[in-house]
Amino acid sequence: MTAAAAPRARFRPPAVPQVDVGGFWGGRVDAVASRTADILYQRCVEAGMLDQIDPERPSPGVRIPFHIRDESAASTVTTQMFWDSDLGKTIETAAYCLYRRANPELEAKIDAVIDMYARLQQPDGYLSSWYQRIQPGQRWTNLRDCHELYCAGHLIEGAVAYYQATGKSRLLDIMARYADHIGAVFGPEDGKRKGYCGHEEVELALVKLARATGQQKYLDLAKYFIDQRGQQPHYFDGEAQARGADPRHFHFKTYEYNQSHKPVREQDKVVGHAVRAMYLYSGMADIATEYGDDGLRAALDRLWADLNGKRLYVTGGLGPSLANEGFTADYDLPNETAYAETCAAVGLVFWSSRMLGMGPNARFADAMELALYNGSISGLSLDGSLFFYENPLESRGKHNRWKWHRCPCCPPNVGRMVAAIGSYMYGVADDAIAVHLYGDNTARLEVAGRQVRLTQESRYPWEGAVAIAVDVDRPTRFTLHLRIPGWCRKAALSVNGKAVDLASVTADGYAAIAREWAKGDRVRLDLDMPVERVRAHPEVRQDVGRIALMRGPLVYCLEGADNPISLNRVRVPEQAPFESRFEPELLGGVVTLSAKAEADGTADWTDTLYRREPTKAEAMPIKAVPYFAWDNREPGEMLVWLRGA
Amino acid sequence: MTAAAAPRARFRPPAVPQVDVGGFWGGRVDAVASRTADILYQRCVEAGMLDQIDPERPSPGVRIPFHIRDESAASTVTTQMFWDSDLGKTIETAAYCLYRRANPELEAKIDAVIDMYARLQQPDGYLSSWYQRIQPGQRWTNLRDCHELYCAGHLIEGAVAYYQATGKSRLLDIMARYADHIGAVFGPEDGKRKGYCGHEEVELALVKLARATGQQKYLDLAKYFIDQRGQQPHYFDGEAQARGADPRHFHFKTYEYNQSHKPVREQDKVVGHAVRAMYLYSGMADIATEYGDDGLRAALDRLWADLNGKRLYVTGGLGPSLANEGFTADYDLPNETAYAETCAAVGLVFWSSRMLGMGPNARFADAMELALYNGSISGLSLDGSLFFYENPLESRGKHNRWKWHRCPCCPPNVGRMVAAIGSYMYGVADDAIAVHLYGDNTARLEVAGRQVRLTQESRYPWEGAVAIAVDVDRPTRFTLHLRIPGWCRKAALSVNGKAVDLASVTADGYAAIAREWAKGDRVRLDLDMPVERVRAHPEVRQDVGRIALMRGPLVYCLEGADNPISLNRVRVPEQAPFESRFEPELLGGVVTLSAKAEADGTADWTDTLYRREPTKAEAMPIKAVPYFAWDNREPGEMLVWLRGA
């Protein structure tokens, strides 16, 4: 294998149970473990999902109407087709939560669901509640639209997580058998189908399965799906023709929608459905990591530059348009109508974390942190019970959290991401550990066959001081890579009280400390965390002349609850100093930012709508709260991009 | 009759043939006469309208699908129901144009259409191509949705116009007979229906019919429709029940949609479908004028204040929302997504011109002029061949003029308004003439039984100098009311070379010159016309921190064709002087506004999307063109509200 000729450090994430999380993320995980996980299961039951997967019950038939997006083409999609994926993500979330907090009732329910899948699985390994119970006889006839492999992927992810958290391998065995069946149906060999899923997901799931089982074949299958995507003759054309359909009657007009418009190695623009794009790039990053595949890496770097240079919200949200749930044009980042689906920001966390598999690089960790602290967890209420599908950056007060969605992809997606936060904090290679995220936690990692325990103490993201205690059974040589966040202009590092010259040890935004570590070693990192004004590229017409407030990794916003005024009347003078203050009683405890700003006055406007005289400014104290925490109080206006000087 | 006890001056518009228009409006009328009028007829034919109205042809049935707006309620509307109105407006436009410019071919075609209507009319006078030919037996069963009286109204307007322009009374006779039938069906008397149309229009049409025929009964019927509107028990409730329908299943949920939510005299907010609202208020203003009805006037004043104080675009456009083609919330005036239907601005011209019936008042004339020069004629291409339905105040270049619309209400509406411009220029009372609009024209008016000829010479709206020559057969005493536009800060008036002290003769924005006028009298008015920066009320969040440019009655915009830059990058410093220059070769000859502005620079931004350093400004010369003339060149960006200092 070519890749083996040029081995390199591959950083893999720890399994969730390897990291005990406290502090900021501990609170978020507890909300998921104590509320969200049960809610997810309950909502799945209420939707009727168990009626669909349990082979003992009569088939419920189609309960949710097929989508009608285009009257000229009979539509073929109902969200009911995705139910296996919703259950997969629910199982995955539950798994991480069971590790966090015993919940025998929920565990029993998940075991019962797994039992249904065990009984549903066909002798050949095939497993799809939709195609077995609702549309029998049509399996593998519409990979473009019907999420068949996507559902498999989410069940695989759920299986790996459930195994890691509980040690129970039943679902893992089921899904390995199904993966084997998929490998027998799809592949480069003669007689196998040359297809891949319209909604990417199975690729990254197969990587997880390979890592959990040690089976290379799953990696190879993932790589096949990735490399086959967008090849000519186009699989989705032939598949449509085989169904007797005209491929041109694709609802979304262009194969950019599912990133199959050209082979992935030739792609350089992030296009189409945002979640699909993120899942594809995540799988590509995994494969680039595992195979040391520089060609794939080059494509990923181009795509990364495109997203981060032209198509990403300041919150780490992405995909501005409802129409395709995805990308539009360069610099098109409307705030009030931002789609910015929770799942897409979660997907960016997936992608960026996997880019870190190829080595520590703050470029990727910065984006991961941005999406984590802002555009993804904004999708989950502080108590873990309510959800956002869209994450706009401006609201007139009518955008409020929902109990559930018709297409319930986001709730379990943000749930599993939050509950798995520990696995994003570190990367582990043969002789190195990378610390990507800071905050209270204890990690039990294995480097060069040795157990290493790292204990972080930090009030991050509210404060920038981080203390890391290293605990090893006996002195062990490895490199500790410590991220110096891109948002930090001034950092100080010491090991056992001795200052380290950051400039000399830092590469790609990580300080590398290579030494023989001994029990009791102490690392201290101080990250300066002032309030910063952020500006958007002037081609972003919605943000021009405006500023966003950030402190550390957090993006802030104004809410009507704190600022009883039309928020677009507010103007923040360039020199107005901001005061940051931790408010323990507010929104579960957050640092707020306050300043003496101005507002366009209305007192002298009487009844006229337009006039020639300039508007008079009046003093207006403002208080900003973290964006992720918005709409957790009474409904009201919200604004991220504030008018600047 | 009470109103007769308190007679007052009633200003009525002259008929179109009484005013020969040159200059700016002459060019616009010529475009309509030479292109639009023929196009309107041709498009009506192409749509199949003649197949529907000609009783000699087989009924074409439903050609345009019924709208499906709400799946829960069977919908009852197709635009085909409105075809009589489209033909009525087409006849009206043609009538004004035939006066302007002989067109025997078009006249013969219109005569043939009138002949079809003559043959279609039932012995009882009823006339509706939809209900006679497509849905026989269902007449008067759904006034709420089906535009039955609305169609009658537009045919009446067409009939009056055709009679005034050609002297042919055939259609007028037909429509008078139909109006008599309507009067026999609807009214306060026992046994008559207590209804009114869901889409107002017949009210103002009946006023025109009354004025053209001298028949008070048509005024009374118009007044009945107006006063009956919104009374309880609600007619539309009972009508729906009679059809076996649930009144609550109204597509638009609220009777605010058609302004029947409460009796009109109690209304104080402009709500619902914008065109309907304007037509209703137009009819109310006519009735208030004709009956000296102060109660109606008080309601109109409240509605006027609401529109002009909270819900009107700076262009005179109105109705921001596509959803109800109408009004939303106070100060909600989005620019890029503005619906601002051409018909609605035309409707505002109708309403404001009728408010002037109660006496000269610049408040109303200013709004009429604003809508005329900006938000209405923006809907017609300079050559008279292409149309806008929506008139946004910002475009990324994808909003371009159409050849036609599925619901073709706007093309003939702007056509008939432009072609009738002469009738908006003046108001004539028993002993007074009001000059509402300036520009080259000659008017033949009658005051106190005497012929008065006024000849205006002016390059208005490009220059503010106006010369008016008075020509009377013998010396005649009347008051000449000359409008001093609200946009003008400095005006000078002279009569026969002698300065008039404006302050002492001006009331409600009109200078009143009461004297015995003699042949050869000359009035000279000089209106200072600098470039003005206009600001919106700070509660209009889309415009905050921005300015609009106006010069005289014209609103300006930037277009990509003149300004090759993302227009939101442009910033106009508060002190930047503007130079205005007439460019005879540009857009048919317009005054452009130029200034040295600034733009947010992108040169030092490299590949990043967000940064902390402020953006550097770079010099950027800008050139603005009149808003009405936009999108008459290559497609590109357009922006009205420019970033200010």
User: What are A342-353's pLDDT values in tens digits?
Assistant: 999 999 999 999
Q: Is the pLDDT of residue B590 over 60?
A: yes
Angle at A39 between CA A37 and CA A43, to 5 degrees: 125
Q: What pLDDT score was predicted for residue B410?
A: 86
Structure tokens at A124: 């050949």
B524/B514 Cα distance (integer angstroms): 15
DSSP code per residue over B497-562: TEEE-HHHHEETTEEEEEEEE-TTEEEEEEE---EEEEEE-TT-TTTTTEEEEEETTEEEEEETTT
Count of other CB atoms within 10 angstroms of residue A71: 9
Q: What pLDDT score was predicted for residue A407?
A: 74
- Helix H or strand E segment including B470: strand B465-472
Q: Is the pLDDT of residue A511 over 60?
A: yes
- CB distance A196 to A206 below 8 Å: no
Q: What pLDDT score was predicted for residue B7?
A: 41
- CB distance B530 to B551 below 8 Å: yes
- CB distance B567 to B560 below 8 Å: yes
In this prediction, residue A68 has a pLDDT band, given cuts at 50, 70 and 90, of low
Q: Is the pLDDT of residue B595 over 80?
A: yes
Structure tokens at B630: 């936009």
From B209, B126, B203, B207, select the one nearest B163 (Cα to Cα).
B209
Structure tokens at A290: 């595992």
pLDDT in tens, A552-570: 999 999 999 999 999 999 9
In this prediction, residue B271 has a pLDDT band, given cuts at 50, 70 and 90, of very high
Give me the half-sphere count of Cα atoms (radius 13 Å) on the Cβ side of residue A513: 24
In this prediction, residue A64 has a pLDDT band, given cuts at 50, 70 and 90, of confident
Q: What pLDDT score was predicted for residue B408?
A: 80
Q: What pLDDT score was predicted for residue A405?
A: 73
B588/B27 Cα distance (integer angstroms): 9
Q: Span B179-201, mean pLDDT?
A: 98
Point out the least confidently predicted range of A340-349, A396-405, B259-268, B552-561: A396-405
Q: Residue B599: CB partners within 8 Å, gap ≥ 6?
A: A538, B565, B569, B570, B571, B617, B618, B619, B620
Q: What pLDDT score was predicted for residue B607?
A: 86
Q: What pLDDT score was predicted for residue B448?
A: 83
Q: CB-based contact (8 Å) between A536 and chain B?
A: yes
From A402, A441, A449, select the one nearest A425 (Cα to Cα).
A441
Structure tokens at A147: 């999420």
B616/A12 Cα distance (integer angstroms): 43
B574/B387 Cα distance (integer angstroms): 35
Q: Is the pLDDT of residue B6 over 80?
A: no
What angle do the packed helices B170-185 and B104-120 form, to 10 degrees? Answer: 30
- CB distance A344 to A276 below 8 Å: no
pLDDT in tens, A330-345: 999 999 999 999 999 9
Q: Residue B474: CB partners within 8 Å, gap ≥ 6?
A: B450
Q: Which of A330, A335, A396, A610 to mutate to test the interface with B (most CBs of B within 10 A)?
A: A610
Q: Residue B180: CB partners within 8 Å, gap ≥ 6?
A: B125
A241/A509 Cα distance (integer angstroms): 50
Q: Which residues pair with B312 in a beta bridge?
A: B318
- Which residue in this structure is represented by tokens 């029993």? A108
A457/A455 Cα distance (integer angstroms): 7
Contacting residues of A for B612, CB less than 8 Å apart: 532-535
Q: Residue B556: CB partners within 8 Å, gap ≥ 6?
A: B548, B549, B550, B593, B624, B625, B626, B627, B640
Q: Is the pLDDT of residue A581 over 70?
A: yes
In this prediction, residue B140 has a pLDDT band, given cuts at 50, 70 and 90, of very high
> Cβ–Cβ of A610/B539 closer than 8 Å?
no
Q: Which of B532, B600, B607 sits opposite A538 (nearest CB)?
A: B600
With a cut of 0.90, is the ipTM above it? yes
In three-state form (DSSP H/G/I as H, E/B as E, the rest C), the secondary structure along B389-439 is CCCCCEECCCCCCECCCCCCCHHHHHHHHHHCHHHHHEEEECCEEEECCCC
Q: Residue A3: CB partners within 8 Å, gap ≥ 6?
A: A290, A291, A292, A293
Q: CB-based contact (8 Å) between A573 and chain B?
A: no
Q: What pLDDT score was predicted for residue B251?
A: 87
B115/A574 Cα distance (integer angstroms): 72
Identify residue B30 by its one-letter amino acid code.
Answer: D
Q: Span B370-393, mean pLDDT?
A: 97
Q: What pLDDT score was predicted for residue A409?
A: 82
- Helix H or strand E segment including A159: helix A148-166
pLDDT in tens, B84-105: 999 999 999 999 999 899 999 9
Q: Which residues of A159-171 are buried (b: 16+ CB within 10 A; e: fewer)?
A: bbbbbbbbebebb
Q: What pLDDT score was predicted for residue B1?
A: 31
Give me the half-sphere count of Cα atoms (radius 13 Å) on the Cβ side of residue A450: 20
A49/A41 Cα distance (integer angstroms): 10
From B141, B145, B154, select the one nearest B81 (Cα to Cα).
B145
B30/A636 Cα distance (integer angstroms): 52
In this prediction, residue A481 has a pLDDT band, given cuts at 50, 70 and 90, of very high
From B611, B575, B567, B616, select the one nearest B595 (Cα to Cα).
B575
- Helix H or strand E segment including B481: strand B476-483
Question: Mean pLDDT in chain B?
Answer: 95
Q: CB-based contact (8 Å) between A65 and chain B?
A: no
Q: CB-based contact (8 Å) between B600 and chain A?
A: yes
Phi, psi of B576, deg, nearest 5: -60, 120
Contacting residues of B for A603, CB less than 8 Å apart: none
> Cβ–Cβ of B314/A535 closer than 8 Å?
no
Give me the half-sphere count of Cα atoms (radius 13 Å) on the Cβ side of residue B303: 28
- Helix H or strand E segment including B199: none
Question: Mean pLDDT in chain A?
Answer: 95
- Helix H or strand E segment including A473: none
Q: Percent of chain A at pLDDT above 90?
A: 92
Q: State the pairing for strand pair B642-643/A570-571.
A: unpaired
Task: Compute the nearest-CA separation of A548 from chain B (Å).
Answer: 9
Contacting residues of A for B537, CB less than 8 Å apart: 602, 605, 608-610
Q: Which of B312, B537, B540 to mutate to test the interface with A (most CBs of A within 10 A)?
A: B537
In this prediction, residue B606 has a pLDDT band, given cuts at 50, 70 and 90, of confident
Task: Compute the nearest-CA separation of A82 from chain B (Å).
Answer: 25
Q: Residue B273 has what DSSP assignment?
A: B
Structure tokens at B322: 């596509």
From A323, A332, A369, A333, select the one nearest A348 (Cα to Cα).
A369
- CB distance B467 to B497 below 8 Å: no
Q: What pLDDT score was predicted for residue A408?
A: 80
Q: State the pairing for strand pair A432-435/A476-483.
A: parallel
From A571, A543, A552, select the one nearest A462 (Cα to Cα).
A552
Count of other CB atoms within 10 angstroms of residue B437: 24
Q: Is the pLDDT of residue A3 over 70?
A: no
Q: Which of A574, A601, A610 sits opposite B536 (nearest CB)?
A: A610
End-to-end CA distance of chain B: 59
**Active-site residue set of B:** 325, 409
Q: CB-based contact (8 Å) between B529 and chain A?
A: no
Structure tokens at B231: 């009374």
**Residue A37 CB-density burial (10 A; 0-12 exposed, 13-18 middle, 19+ buried):** buried
Q: What pLDDT score was predicted for residue B70?
A: 46
Enumerate residues 477 to 496 of chain A having a beta carbon within 8 A of any beta carbon in chain B.
Answer: none
Q: What pLDDT score was predicted for residue B71?
A: 40
pLDDT in tens, B395-449: 999 999 998 777 788 899 999 999 999 999 999 999 999 999 999 999 999 998 8
Q: CB-based contact (8 Å) between B569 and chain A?
A: yes
Enumerate residues 574 to 593 of chain A having a beta carbon within 8 A of any beta carbon in chain B.
Answer: 574
pLDDT in tens, A238-290: 999 999 999 998 989 999 999 999 999 999 999 999 999 999 999 999 999 99
Structure tokens at A220: 């190879």
Q: Span B259-272, mean pLDDT?
A: 98
Q: Which residues pair with A465 in a beta bridge?
A: A526
> Cβ–Cβ of B601/A538 closer than 8 Å?
yes
Q: SS3 of A406, please?
A: coil
B342/B345 Cα distance (integer angstroms): 5
B533/B550 Cα distance (integer angstroms): 6
Q: Is the pLDDT of residue A72 over 80?
A: no
Q: CB-based contact (8 Å) between A535 and chain B?
A: yes
Count of other CB atoms within 10 angstroms of residue A519: 13
Sheet-wide strand order for B506-507: B426-429, B432-435, B476-483, B510-517, B506-507
Q: Residue B248 has what DSSP assignment?
A: G
- CB distance A43 to A408 below 8 Å: yes
pLDDT in tens, B534-581: 999 999 999 999 999 999 999 999 999 999 999 999 999 999 999 999
